[in-house]
Structure 1
Amino acid sequence: MTEPTEATPEQTTAFELVGGEARVRELVDRFYDLMDLEPDFAGLRALHPPTLDGSRDKFFWFLCGWLGGPDHYVSRFGHPRLRARHLPFAISSNERDQWLQCMAWAMEEVGLAEALRERLLHSFFDTADWMRNRPD
């Protein structure tokens, strides 16, 4: 990797644009709060354990690294192997769409800028769509 110069300015990561670890934690917590409380996300909630504490931590650790920040998840568990880790759960377009709607709502509620929300939602869609493992 080369050092940034005037010709190659340092790239700002999505992690930095979100606002660092405190804001990622806020986003993750709001995401799981909405999933736990809103009837529209009941199918998604049903895929999770009764208590969401472990899910919150794992998603926070993962999301920090996925956004370009610290690789907390990798340092604890190794490569995320997202698809393999989600294969035991029935994920169709319905669960994908619930996940995306819940995340979109959480991003809006924590006050992420619209352009950033759109950028992230596009990337989230690609990942969430790849996680589908059951027919609609």
Structure 2
Amino acid sequence: MSEPTPPEATLYERIGGHQTFVTLVDAFYAGVATDPELRALYPEEELGPANERLRMFLEQYWGGPKTYGERRGHPRLRLRHAPFAVTAAQRDRWLTHMNAALDSLGLPEPELAEFREYVTRAAQFMVNAFD
């Protein structure tokens, strides 16, 4: 009788787990903090709470801890972003900072491409206001 095949490692595990996501999200929000138009989308005085929410969401999405769901329930991304007018220009600004943060990690190409493809789709999905 053969041994069961272990499940494939999640992207969360393949790219280094928690610390990689901390580094990614910190780099992303460092960019957001310097972008007045994008920063205006974040109503909280400090970006810390948004940083934590995004990190927990991304960790859960990519196979890490389920902390986001335990604390906040189902992500409902579009519903949670509905109170904010998200334009195509803001999407592009968000992607600029997210892609720069992804590039800073030095990820292997397959994981980088998979992550970049997801954030591009997700950012497009958030657009809810048109010029």
TM over 0.5: yes
Match of 1:65 in 2: 60
Q: What is the deviation of 1:71?
A: 1.1
- Cα distance in 2, alignment partners of residues 18 and 101 from structure 1: 21
Question: Which secondary structure state, in structure 2, belongs to the residue aligned with residue 102 of structure 1?
Answer: helix
CA contact (8 A) 1:96 1:128 kept: yes
- Cα distance in 2, alignment partners of residues 112 and 91 from structure 1: 29
Match of 2:129 in 1: 134
Match of 2:49 in 1: 54
TM-score by length of 1: 0.86
Match of 2:37 in 1: 43
- Cα distance in 2, alignment partners of residues 113 and 102 from structure 1: 19
Q: What is the deviation of 1:112?
A: 1.9
TM-score by length of 2: 0.89
AA in 2 matched with 1:84: L
CA contact (8 A) 1:104 1:117 kept: no
Question: Which secondary structure state, in structure 1, belongs to the residue aligned with residue 8 of structure 2?
Answer: coil
Question: Which secondary structure state, in structure 2, belongs to the residue aligned with residue 128 of structure 1?
Answer: helix
Aligned counterpart for 1:15 among listed residues 2, 5, 12: 12
Match of 1:5 in 2: 4
- Number of residues paired by the alignment? 128
AA in 1 matched with 2:57: F
Aligned counterpart for 1:101 among listed residues 96, 100, 110: 96
Large movers: runs of 4+ above 4 Å = none
Runs of at least 5 residues in structure 1 that lack an aligned partner in the other structure: none
AA in 2 matched with 1:27: L
Runs of at least 5 residues in structure 2 that lack an aligned partner in the other structure: none
Identical counterparts, % of pairs: 36
